[in-house]
């Protein structure tokens, strides 16, 4: 029986991956391992919590003994490793937590899988360790066309790269050059995954993905934070002039890519996953404002005056841009949604699920927000 541990499955991306695998593969056993830190929320998975092929285990990925025992108990054949600390601002404030979870936690998962799989008669045959990483490990790209650029509203993955902001893109072979404690911790974890393949022959795959957006994202990140702030007419803090450029991908398209790569990707390969969808922060903020205003019955653009420019983040990378053509050419994946569709679905979801948002932004989370955003706004 295929038995898969998905780490971080109560988080934003992880919950979409868990839901996809539980519903699409009823013959699989899906074990969701999550520590349930502030960003983990089992309410994200209420619709599948009673499925017979699903199990939730509250555990810390750094707890090697627990993870190794779970591997043995569930006869695990695959790992999809998403659990990570991921907020750059928090990594600047507390780099130790990021090193522990992202580096030592990944090492714990790798070692537990290695020891269990090597104890079996077939060893690594039919096994797979899939590690999800970020485009931030590559560093930053130049913004060579900073002025007078129209946002790429209709860019599709099947078309040539949109070169509005620059001609250079992150490839799978791009040299690592992390600039924040977060990206440094993810770069280190990537190296450990590849080292376990090269040293022990473990069947590993690494993917590096661009910024995700969509339902169930914890509201410390740009889009859900700003949707909620617009709803309550609170300030929208923007770093610098909002000129930083990011490539955006709808989360369900990322989940589909993970499914495809887990089943058909080549062992020891790296695949970049991106949306072919670059936006300056300030442009995406204006789209979010217009969309929220329209769906709330306000005059479109009415809340533009909520934008508040603040001192830029330390070491803030100017531009990320993923080249996904390898994944497209080898496995046939491309994003299913253009950005206008994705942002419309996303805003509608948050407005239709205000109870979910209110539950998070009240009580114990409220104090967290006060501490986090008093001086550190979220801009990606």
In this predicted structure, what is the pLDDT of residue 45?
98
Report the alpha-carbon distance of residue 197 to residue 202 in Å, rounded. 4
C-beta separation of 47 from 94 below 8 A: no
For every residue of 197-238, DSSP letters joined together read: HHHH---EEEEEE-EEESTT--TTSHHHHHHHHHHTT--EEE
Per residue in 65-95, pLDDT (tens digit) is 999 999 999 999 999 999 999 989 899 999 9
In this predicted structure, what is the pLDDT of residue 276?
85
Instruction: Burial-class residue 198 by CB neighbours within 10 Å (0-12, 13-18, 19+).
Output: exposed
Residue 167 banded pLDDT, cuts 50, 70, 90: low
Report the alpha-carbon distance of residue 207 to residue 216 in Å, rounded. 22
pTM of model > 0.85: yes
Kindly list the catalytic residues. Answer: 135-136, 182
Contacts of 137 (CB under 8 A, 6+ apart): 176, 177, 178, 183, 186, 187, 190, 208
End-to-end C-alpha distance for the chain, whole angstroms: 39
> Residue 373 above 70 pLDDT?
no
In this predicted structure, what is the pLDDT of residue 363?
53
Where is pLDDT greater, at 339 or 77? 77
In this predicted structure, what is the pLDDT of residue 158?
37
Q: What is the mean pLDDT of the chain?
A: 90
Report the alpha-carbon distance of residue 119 to residue 137 in Å, rounded. 33
How many Cβ atoms sit within 10 Å of the Cβ of residue 37? 15
Convert 224-250 to b/e letters by CB count within 10 Å (16 or more is b).
bbbbbbbbeeeebbbbbebbbbbbbbb
Report the alpha-carbon distance of residue 157 to residue 250 in Å, rounded. 13
Residue 165 banded pLDDT, cuts 50, 70, 90: low
Contacts of 84 (CB under 8 A, 6+ apart): 8, 101, 102, 105, 132, 186, 189
Exposure on the CB side of residue 132, measured as CA atoms within 13 A: 28
Residue 374 banded pLDDT, cuts 50, 70, 90: very low
E-strand ranges in 8-158 read: 29-34, 54-58, 78-81, 128-134
* Dihedral class, residue 315 (left if φ above 0, else alpha if ψ from -120 to 50, else beta): left
Q: Measuring CA to CA, which residue among 246, 157, 274, 255 is closest to residue 214?
A: 255
Q: What is the dihedral of CA 361, 314, 135, 87, to 10 degrees?
A: -20
In this predicted structure, what is the pLDDT of residue 146?
57
Report the alpha-carbon distance of residue 142 to residue 157 in Å, rounded. 22
* Residue that has been written with the tokens 């998070």 in this structure: 360
* Residue that has been written with the tokens 């859900």 in this structure: 224
DSSP label of 159: S
Residue 378 banded pLDDT, cuts 50, 70, 90: very low
C-beta separation of 61 from 101 below 8 A: yes
Report the alpha-carbon distance of residue 288 to residue 222 in Å, rounded. 10
DSSP label of 120: S
């Amino acid at each position: 029986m295929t038995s898969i541990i998905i780490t971080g499955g109560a988080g934003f991306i992880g919950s979409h991956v868990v839901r996809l695998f539980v519903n699409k593969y009823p013959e699989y056993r899906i074990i969701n391992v999550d520590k349930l830190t502030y960003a983990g929320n089992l309410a994200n998975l209420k619709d599948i919590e009673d499925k017979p092929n699903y199990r939730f285990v509250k555990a810390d990925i750094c707890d090697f003994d627990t993870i190794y025992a779970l591997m043995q108990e569930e006869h695990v054949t695959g790992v999809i490793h998403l659990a990570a600390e991921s907020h750059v601002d928090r990594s600047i404030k507390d780099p130790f937590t990021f090193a522990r979870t992202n580096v030592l936690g990944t090492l714990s998962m790798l070692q537990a899988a290695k020891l269990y799989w090597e104890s079996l008669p077939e060893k690594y045959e039919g096994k797979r360790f899939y590690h999800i990483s970020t485009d931030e490990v590559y560093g930053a790209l130049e913004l060579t066309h900073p002025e007078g650029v129209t946002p790429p509203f209709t860019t599709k993955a099947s078309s040539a790269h949109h070169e509005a902001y620059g001609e250079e893109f992150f490839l799978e072979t791009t040299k690592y050059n992390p600039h924040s404690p977060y990206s440094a911790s993810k770069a280190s974890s990537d190296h450990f995954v590849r080292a376990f393949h090269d040293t022990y022959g473990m069947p590993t795959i690494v993917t590096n993905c661009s910024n995700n957006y969509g339902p169930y994202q914890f509201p410390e990140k740009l889009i859900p934070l700003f949707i909620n702030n617009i709803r309550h007419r609170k300030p929208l803090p923007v770093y610098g002039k909002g000129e930083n450029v990011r490539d955006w991908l709808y989360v369900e398209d990322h989940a589909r890519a993970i499914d495809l790569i887990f089943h058909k990707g080549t062992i020891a390969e790296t695949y970049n996953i991106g949306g072919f969808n670059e936006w300056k922060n300030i442009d995406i903020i204006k789209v979010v404002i217009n969309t929220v205003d329209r769906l709330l019955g306000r005059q479109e653009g009415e809340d533009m005056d909520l934008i508040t420019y603040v001192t830029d983040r330390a070491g803030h990378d100017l531009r990320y841009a993923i080249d996904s053509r390898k994944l497209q050419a080898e496995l046939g994946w491309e994003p299913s949604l253009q950005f206008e569709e994705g942002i419309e679905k996303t805003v509608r979801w948050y407005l239709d699920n205000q109870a979910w948002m209110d539950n998070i932004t009240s009580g114990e989370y409220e104090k967290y927000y006060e501490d986090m955003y008093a001086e550190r706004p979220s801009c990606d």
